[in-house]
Amino acid sequence: MGPTAFVTVAELVRFVYLRRVLPPAEVSLVAILVTLVGAAVFSSFVFGIVERMEKERTAYKDAMLALKERERLAREMHDGLAQNLAAINLKVHRLNKLLHDQDYAAIADELVAIQAAVNLSYTEVRQSLYDLKAGQRLAEGFWTALEKQAEEFSRQTGIAVRVEPLPDRQEPWNELAAVQMLRIVQESLANVRRHSEAHQVRIYGRLEGGEFRLSVVDDGKGFDPTQGLDRGHHYGLSIMQERAESVGGRVVVQSQVGKGTEVTVAIPIR
Ligand SMILES: Nc1ncnc2c1ncn2[C@@H]1O[C@H](COP(=O)(O)OP(=O)(O)O)[C@@H](O)[C@H]1O
Ligand SMILES: [Mg+2]
């Protein structure tokens, strides 16, 4: 509507009024100038709208991503922390009963079990906090954040971790991808701690097949990934997959019983 109305009015003015008061050459000049100004005003108007829509779309996408991430964290907390606390609650109940019976040997055993469960919960909380703060940790550089993560894991578990950065410590080009990679590595390490009985872990990066790839390899007992992927209450691997997909990437799990596990997160290079 805008441009049509503008052209109609301009043409009317030109034929009805300008032609009478100005020579033809000047009428053309005025027409050209008015057209140019009109086009500029109109395009800046359209660009303004497009830009605002684009901003709104990005904000919406960011909000959706944050919401999804929150859902994942909630699922993880339900899986880990909430279940541990429920177990502790049960043990405390039992402790109460044992106290009543004055069965001190059993009480001592139960206390040891409770302490182990509390420690585990502490680790789980730290994991969730780590996931929440992954963006912050990225400020010190992707590889530095990974190395610190590996050190902390080794300190907690006694499992040795070697981190092998890309040449020149080249980082993922995309910050969101980098955050998701840190989280995926964190979840892989949590699985190594919970399930693998490994002694050593190697985390290595490479550029391959047009992708930035990062692998977490353990020398533990391995498992059958075709069964591991869709088991009712085990969300870890599917959450990893979702996180990778949210930044256009994928996760590949290679494992075999008795032969360790390799989890690779791959994000295409644009
Ligand atoms: N590094 C690993 N070593 C051995 N088994 C693993 C490893 N990672 C995953 N698994 C197996 O895959 C299953 C699914 O893992 P996941 O989806 O993270 O759920 P969860 O950790 O809650 O059990 C685990 O229960 C475990 O049996
Ligand atoms: Mg897991």
* pLDDT (average), residues 232-236: 77
Residue 264 lies in a domain: yes
- Residue 189 belongs to some domain of the structure: yes
207 CA distance to ligand 1 middle (Å): 27
Q: Are residues 148 and 265 in the same domain?
A: yes
Find tokens 């075999």 and name the residue: 256
Residue 127 covered by a domain: no
Same domain, 30 and 155: no
Q: What is the pTM of this model?
A: 0.77
Number of neighbours of residue 223 by Cβ within 10 angstroms = 19
Are 156 and 256 in a shared domain? yes
- How far is 97 from 18, CA to CA, in rounded Å? 103
Domain for residue 177, yes or no? Answer: yes
> Can you tell me which atom of ligand 1 is nearest the CA of 192?
1
pLDDT tens digits along 2-36: 778 888 888 888 888 888 888 888 888 888 898 89
Strands 200-208 and 160-164, sheet pairing? parallel
Ligand nearest to the CA of 193: 1
| More confidently predicted of 265 and 130 | 265
Domain boundary among 54, 73, 95: 54
pLDDT of residue 118 exceeding 70, the answer is: yes
Q: What is the pLDDT of residue 7?
A: 81
86: in domain: no
Phi and psi for 154 in degrees, rounded to 5? -60, -40
Burial of 69 (0-12, 13-18, 19+ CB in 10 A): buried
- Would you say residue 210 lies in a domain? yes
What residues are in contact with ligand 1 under a 6 Å CB criterion? 79, 191-192, 194-196, 218, 220-223, 228, 234-237, 261
Confidence of residue 123 (pLDDT cuts 50, 70, 90): confident
Q: CB–CB of 186/134 below 8 Å?
A: yes
> Does one domain contain both 48 and 148?
no
Residue whose CA is closest, atom 23 of ligand 1? 234
- Considering the domain architecture, whether residues 148 and 267 belong to the same structural domain is answered as yes
Ligand 1 test: best mutation among 128, 223, 231, most atoms within 8 Å of CB?
Answer: 223
Contact 154, 195 (CB under 8 A): no
Position 95 in a domain: no
Kind of pairing, strands 160-164 and 261-268?
A: unpaired
Average confidence (pLDDT) over 112-131? 90
Domain boundary among 38, 54, 70: 54
pLDDT at 229 over 60: no
Ligand 1, pocket-test mutation among 195, 217, 261, most atoms within 8 A of CB = 195
Q: pLDDT tens across 152-173, in order?
A: 999 989 999 999 999 999 999 8
Contact 255, 188 (CB under 8 A): no
Question: Per residue in 29-70, pLDDT tens?
Answer: 888 898 899 899 999 999 999 999 999 998 998 888 888 888
pLDDT of res. 201: 98
Total structural domains within the chain: 2
Give the residue, by CA position, lying nearest to ligand 1 atom 19: 234
Question: Which ligand has its closest atom nearest to the C-alpha of 263?
Answer: 1
The answer to whether the Cα torsion of 208, 257, 157, 85 is positive or negative is positive
Residues spanned by the domain of 267: 141-270
Do residues 25 and 147 share a domain?
Answer: no
Cα of 77 vs centre of ligand 1, distance in Å, is: 16
Q: For ligand 1, atom 12, name the residue with the nearest CA.
A: 228
> So what's the pLDDT on residue 48?
94
Q: Positive or negative, the Cα torsion across 147, 148, 152, 153?
A: negative
Residues 189, 191: Cα–Cα separation, whole Å: 5
Indicate whether 65 belongs to any domain.
no
Residues 47 and 160 in one domain: no
The pLDDT score that the predictor gives to residue 236 is 87
